[in-house]
């Protein structure tokens, strides 16, 4: 059995859904893309071409929602890492992104990331079993601006054998070389081996950019799963209300589902059921507050109602180091998200604007613990309750010597952390959790040999990138 927490009643879900439909029908969305506007117009939406906006009738939204698959396959370069998302599949977790800095976990100083950092972190991410797939977490300021997105994706695909979910916003002209690169590495059409998925982010509130949307539509038509990622901020780009921000989040999700299903019926979509909060003194983005957890909970209740594979925040924090705040805020967002039914959890490894080795390792322990919280035996019977052992040991006895204790210990009935401190206090004198995490990372990276990419696939993918780069006038040295 799997634990799930329902934070909204059926009546409350209906009431929230009606308000989302009201926003789409009477407030509408901004649509900068001519392609998307014409798709909507042909399907019966009221489109104002001069204002670049559209209002969506409820029946159009509902019909497109029905076309969206309830599960999505995320293939990987190594088929052992293939994932199924949604439809009751196990929780899958990934790194966070995208940042340009690396945190020195000892000094607390952040610096610009280098190519060596990129190689190190992708090797670390690839080695850690708790990370099921990766985001393109780090980008390099030294890469040419004309091709930085494509090169970031290519480096990730070359460096990890897991599924790559890109947070890069591509332009339409970059889609053909990207598809060439992907199919060379996958060794098959992306409809068969979707080793790569792509984020599409509406601009809150309720606006869709032109080139970025058209690039995402083209990717969807070629079999690339799309992750729809609204991020309204309560108090700035969304109302200063938990449920008001939830309405904006859901309206952007359903508008995007409508556009993508009109463009590519049945295309695989995932959605991010996340909102943010605003620091009202600075205008900054906050991700680790209790209000964020509430927005995530309400949004997940609705995306489960819609049958959409859903990602939510986990390990999210506003801390500036791998410290108590990072752990407590991360546990809050992770636990509420998984108990409310998230299929995917994002957030490992990033502290503010930098990637952190220590937080990556500590987040993996957090991931392991929340995955354990989801597990209960499928049935309640004599075997799962060990009722015979209870009878045999009787009052005042102990169970350590029982065979079932040895068997269940080996099976993982008691979850074991990799670095969380479980021994006596004396074992940790002069040792910090951060230092232990750094030592663990060093050992993991040293022992890991990534699954190599075939030389011919690497050459073909690199050639596709370099042809585009030369044509764009980019410097790729």
| Whole-angstrom distance, CA of residue 135 vs CA of residue 92 | 12
Q: What does the pLDDT look like over 118-169, one tens digit per residue?
A: 989 999 999 999 999 999 989 888 899 999 999 999 999 999 999 999 998 8
Give the number of other Cβ atoms within 10 Å of residue 188's Cβ: 13
Q: Which residue from 200, 197, 220, 195 is spatially nearest to 210, judged by alpha carbons? A: 200
Q: What does the pLDDT look like over 252-271, one tens digit per residue?
A: 999 999 999 999 999 999 99
- Tell me what pLDDT residue 3 has: 61
Confidence band, pLDDT 50/70/90 cuts, at residue 44: very high
Instruction: Answer yes or no: is pLDDT of 215 > 80.
Output: yes
Mean pLDDT for the stretch of residues 388-407: 96
Q: What does the pLDDT look like over 311-370, one tens digit per residue?
A: 998 888 999 999 999 999 999 999 999 999 999 999 999 998 899 999 999 999 999 999
- Tell me what pLDDT residue 378 has: 79
Domain layout of the chain by residue ranges: 12-60, 66-373, 384-413
- Tell me what pLDDT residue 1 has: 47
374 to 316, 321, 434: CA distances (angstroms): 19, 28, 27
Instruction: Answer yes or no: is pLDDT of 2 > 60.
Output: no
CATH class of the domain at 66-373? alpha beta
- The reported pTM is 0.96
- Tell me what pLDDT residue 475 has: 79
Q: Which residue from 291, 298, 294, 217 is spatially nearest to 260, judged by alpha carbons? A: 217
């Amino acid at each position: 059995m799997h634990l799930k927490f329902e934070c909204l009643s059926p009546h409350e879900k209906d009431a929230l859904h009606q308000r989302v439909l009201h926003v789409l029908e009477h407030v509408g969305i901004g649509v900068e893309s001519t392609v998307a506007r014409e798709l909507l117009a042909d399907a019966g939406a009221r489109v104002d071409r001069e204002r670049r906006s559209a209002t969506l009738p409820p029946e159009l939204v509902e019909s497109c929602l029905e076309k969206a698959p309830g599960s999505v396959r995320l293939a990987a370069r190594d088929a052992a890492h293939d994932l199924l998302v949604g439809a009751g599949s196990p929780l899958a977790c990934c790194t966070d992104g995208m940042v340009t800095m690396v945190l020195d976990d000892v000094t607390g100083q952040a610096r610009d990331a280098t190519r060596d950092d990129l190689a190190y972190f992708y090797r670390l991410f690839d080695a850690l079993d708790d990370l099921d797939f990766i985001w393109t977490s780090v980008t390099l300021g030294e890469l040419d601006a004309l091709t930085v997105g494509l090169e970031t994706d290519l480096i990730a695909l070359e460096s990890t054998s897991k599924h790559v979910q890109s947070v890069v916003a591509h332009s339409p002209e970059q889609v053909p070389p990207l598809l060439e690169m992907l199919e060379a590495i996958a060794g098959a059409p992306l409809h068969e081996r979707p080793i790569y998925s792509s984020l599409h982010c509406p601009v809150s509130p309720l606006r869709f950019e032109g080139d970025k949307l058209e690039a995402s539509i083209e990717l969807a038509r070629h079999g690339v799963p799309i992750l729809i990622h609204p991020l309204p901020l309560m108090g700035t780009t969304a109302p200063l209300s938990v449920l008001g921000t939830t309405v904006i989040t859901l309206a952007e999700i359903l508008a995007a589902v409508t556009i993508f299903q009109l463009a590519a019926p049945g295309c695989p979509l995932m959605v991010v059921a996340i909102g943010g909060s605003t620091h009202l003194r600075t205008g900054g983005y906050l991700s680790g507050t209790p209000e964020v957890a509430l927005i995530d909970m309400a949004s997940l209740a609705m995306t489960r109602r819609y049958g959409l594979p859903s990602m939510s925040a986990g390990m999210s924090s506003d801390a500036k180091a791998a410290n108590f705040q990072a752990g407590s805020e991360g546990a809050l967002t992770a636990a509420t998200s998984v108990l409310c039914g998230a299929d995917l959890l994002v957030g490992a490894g990033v502290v503010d604007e930098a990637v952190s080795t220590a937080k990556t390792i500590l987040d993996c322990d957090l991931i392991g613990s929340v995955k354990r919280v989801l597990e209960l035996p499928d049935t309640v019977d004599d075997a799962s309750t060990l009722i015979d052992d209870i009878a045999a040991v009787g009052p005042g006895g102990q169970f350590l010597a029982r065979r079932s204790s040895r068997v269940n210990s080996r099976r993982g009935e008691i979850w074991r952390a990799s670095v969380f401190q479980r021994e006596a206090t004396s074992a940790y004198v002069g040792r910090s959790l951060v230092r232990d995490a750094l030592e663990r990372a060093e050992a993991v990276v040293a022992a890991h040999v990534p699954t190599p990419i075939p030389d011919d696939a690497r050459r073909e993918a690199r050639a596709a990138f370099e042809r585009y780069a030369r044509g764009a006038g980019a410097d790729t040295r």
